[in-house]
Each structure stands twice: as structure tokens, then as C-alpha cells.
Chain A
Amino acid sequence: MEGQYSEKVMEHFRNPRNVGEIPDASGIGNVGNPVCGDIMRLYIKVDQQEVITDAKFKTFGCGAAIATSSMVTELVKGKTIKEALKVSNHAVAEALGGLPKIKMHCSVLAEEALRSAIDDYIAKKKKA
């Protein structure tokens, strides 16, 4: 199965969850660049209790990039910021039934997008 996607990856690729934008997002994470072939933009909406109530994404990338984006939004919804910071790239990959070795960087990108969105939220909160 080396190099092939799992059923779960294909399912998320086929029906990605949470595609889109959050106009009044609490935090936005932007990672990747088109030369490498992946760009992820992750939006989070955070309430007073620091719970992520909504997450959406837009992604330019391969099947794995789209599936990991979809999965990371699913994983963080309902989590507190503190809990969300513990969501690792391995957790994303695992939730997808694994990723081909060569595509593991997509899960890293998903983790980075999440961190970047949380950083943005924290920075915005400090300013407010």
C-alpha cells in the first residue's frame, strides 16, 4: 500500500468537511507556499470560554493536503484552545487511518496551520 491513500483519506478528500471561510474569525492561520504545492488557510471561531466553536479551511494542494485540512478542522471543533494545542500531526494522520510516508508533511502542515491560527487568536486577544 506504499504510496496509496487509505479509505479514510479518500473519504475526506471526496467529501471534505468545513470547507470555506469564517468572516469574523477569531484567528486565521496561513501556511505553505505554492512552490511546494501546498497552501492551507485555517479559520477558527473561539468563544468566551476559549472553546473552538467553529473551524473552516481553504487549501491548495494534493489529496492528502485536503484530507488533513478537513480532519484537523473536525478534530479541533469543540476543543478548548489548550486542548487544541495538543493536536499533533500524528493525531491528524492517525485519525485518517495513516498517510503515505511521502505525504506525512501534509499532516505537519495541518498542525502548523492550526498553531498559526491559534497564535493569531492569542495575538488578537492581547491587542484587544
Chain B
Amino acid sequence: MKKIYMDNNATTRMREEVLEAMMPYLTDIYGNASSIHEFGRSARIGIDRAREKAAALFGAGSPSEIVFTSGGTEADNLAVKGVAYALKGKGNHIITSSIEHHAILNTCKYLEKEGYSVTYLPVDKYGLVNPDDVRKAITDKTILITVMHANNEVGTIEPVEEIGKIAKEKGIYFHTDSVQAAGKVPFSVKDMDVDLVSISGHKIYGPKGIGALYIRKGTKITQLLHGGHHEMGKRAGTESVALIAGFGRAAELAKEETVSEGKELASLRDALYEGIISKIEHVRLNGHPEKRLPNTLNVGFKYLEGESIILNLDMEGIAVSTGSACTSGSLEPSHVLTAMGVDPADTQGSVRFSLGRDNTKEDVKYLLDVLPPIIKRLRAMSPLYEGK
């Protein structure tokens, strides 16, 4: 059976080039990068090169502004808790949005238990945060603003440059979770006026278990993992050289290909959406029509529940998801769609198609062949569809 993977916002297939870059560090170059002997120095060179490549993807001024972490979640935790702890004496207020990834939301909820206060900004029907709301939410106790760069479920791209300007003007640290945006839209920490940025390796065709946090030089941050002097004293633990090398190579390729790949993905994605609306009734686009990641298409199929759609597509060899992989174990309707004001009944039937570099026009055609009968069959079974 044909197998089509369209769940690239959950994770991506690691590229061959990335594996090649990792192999030496999984085999011959096994030294501890902190050791002063030749074994250690060879490993250190691998890390240094990867850090330079990562810095280039972020548009960072210096590689020393990049701290490698175990992934996007740890990068988000380090950014939010690290700043909150470091600036405890200055204030206790954090501003974020209501549509963040759980790595941010649950970290903020945890900090609330520790006595911090958090403002969760609303979004409009497209999932956009209003920069004016950010400005209004600022108090003299605000120590951090964290608003995601692009949403993982619907792909909406937030006005991070504008928010960054406000933060800079007020002298407040600004963090953005760029886990979904990296490799899909060009960006640089300079344009965004941002102090901290999270990225994950496995979303950019790199390995799982590695991420990076950009920390602007001079930013006050408390480390979460205590131990040796690794990662400029900001993250203790012997470096996973192979994963770091893989991340570096993935970042390098992402930097080179973001623009061209984005154009191709957008054209495939738009063809998919055009096909869906021409063949299936009662559908809605979730997310901003233009300010959206080029690979992401979130469609609501009215009168249906998402899981029954994705299981049927899975039987046809097509992998997609509802909201996000991290929430599929929960029964709550998507917090993102709910915050966007989508009717509660309609949040259930949403399916996210997230395309990647392996997808082709043939994949889109195949999907458009198998999807309409599935929707028809499920609707015939749905008590909500009667008479529609």
C-alpha cells in the first residue's frame, strides 16, 4: 500500500545528510568534548561547528548565544523558568498567549503555583495575538513576554516583530517558541527583536532529542540543570555530540532551503485545500488564510469527529493528525481552536495536514481521491449530519 506522511508538524523524517553528519560521532569520535586530549578535542570541534551552523540559522551574532538542549520542550522550559528565576527580584509577571504549545503553557501554569502571575492573551478568529493587547498587559512587574512564532496546530504566524519592538521599548525580555517556524519561514533574531528563541531538531529533518535555545548575549538566565560547566554554564551535562552534529547539519540545510522549500510546500498545500473545498461540502479553514506556515493546512469537517477521519486515512496509508500529537491523549477539545472561538462542536472535526519535503503532487492527488468517500461514509453514520 502507498504510504504518505503528512504529519510533519509532529515530526519529520531525518535527512540522509544529517545521518551522515552524525555517524562519525556515533562511532570513531567518541571522546567527551570536555576532555583535553585528542579524543575530546575532536568531539569539541564537532560541537563548535554545529553551534556555528545553528547560530547562522537563528541569525545570531555569536555562536556562544546558542545553548543546546534535549529538545524544544527543554528550550522552552529553560527560557521561561530560567528568566523567571533570574528576575525574581525584579517582578513576577509573565505575558503569554492562550494558544502556546503545552511546553510553554504548562511551564507557565507551574510558575503560577510558585507565586508568579501569568497573563494568557486572547487571539482573534485566525489565531493572531494583537500586539496592542501585549502592550496593555504590561505592568511594572512584567519580566517576560513569551509568544510563539507560529502555531503548531493551525500554522498561524504571530506578529513577533511587533511584539519584539514593544518588549524592547519597555525593556522586557521577549522569548518566542520558533519550533514550528524554523525551516519553514526565514527569520532572524535581529528582525524579531527577540532575546530568547527555541528550536527543535526533529522538526527540521534532524534527530529527536536535541534542540537549541538562542539566548541573546547579556540576558539574565538561571540554569535548570546543575553540574559541570557545559554550554557556557547554562546547561550542565555531557554533550550528545552526535545529536548536536545532526542538529547543526539540519540547521545548515534549513537555512539554505527554507525559502525555496516554502514556496513548493505552499503550492502543494494550496492545491490540497482547493481540492478539498471543491470535492467536500461543509468544510472550514482553521488558521489565517495568508499569515500561515507554508506547509500547514488545518481543515474542519463539520458534523464529524477528527479521530474517526484520521483512523480512516491511516487505513489508506495516509498519516495526518487532529490538533497536535501531544494532545491526542486528551479528550479536551483543542485549546487553540477554542481560543480562536471555533464553535465547540466544530473543534472536534478538525484535521491537520502538515506537508514536508517528501510530499509530491501525486500524494495530494491520492489524498483527494480517498478523502471524499471517507467523509461521505462517516457523515452517513453521524446523527449530526441528518438533513444537511
Contacts and interface: CB of A to CB of B under 8 A. Distances in A.
Interface of A: 3, 10, 13-14, 16, 19, 30, 34-41, 58-63, 65-66, 102, 105
Interface stretch (B206-214, B275-283, B300-308): B300-308
Interface string B321-336: 0000000011101000
A40 B383 CA distance: 7
Given A60-B304, A61-B305, A37 B380 contact: no
* Interface secondary structure of B, over-half rule: loop
B4 to A, nearest CB: 19
B315 interface: yes
8 contacts: A13-B311, A19-B380, A37-B331, A58-B383, A58-B386, A63-B311, A65-B308, A66-B308
B381 A59 contact: yes
A19 to B, nearest CB: 5
A25 to B, nearest CB: 14
Interface in B358-386: 380-386
A34 B345 contact: yes
B61 interface: no
Contact of B383 (A35, A37, A41, A63): A41
B381 A37 contact: no
A58 B379 CA distance: 10
B329 A102 contact: yes
Contacts of B382: 39, 58-60
B384 A63 contact: no
Interface residues of B, number: 21
A39 B383 contact: yes
A58 B311 contact: no
B344 interface: yes
A41 B383 CA distance: 7
Nearest to A69: B381
Interface in B105-155: none
A19 B377 CA distance: 10
B308 A102 contact: no
B9 interface: no
Contacts of A58: 381-383, 386
B315 A60 contact: no
A18 B74 CA distance: 49
B344 A35 contact: yes
A36 to B, nearest CB: 7
A19 B333 CA distance: 26
B340 to A, nearest CB: 16
B316 to A, nearest CB: 11
A57 B304 CA distance: 15
A59 to B, nearest CB: 6
Contact of B315 (A14, A19, A105): A14
Given A58-B381, A60-B383, 18 more contacts: A3-B329, A10-B311, A13-B308, A19-B380, A19-B381, A30-B383, A34-B344, A36-B331, A37-B333, A41-B383, A58-B383, A58-B386, A59-B383, A60-B385, A62-B307, A65-B305, A66-B308, A102-B331
Nearest to B349: A60
A36 B333 CA distance: 8
Contacts of B383: 30, 39-41, 58-60
Q: Which of B304, B348, B380, B383 lies at the interface centre, i.e. has the most chain A CB atoms within 10 A of its CB?
A: B383
A105 B330 CA distance: 12
A13 to B, nearest CB: 6
Nearest to B386: A58
Nearest to A59: B381
Nearest to A40: B383
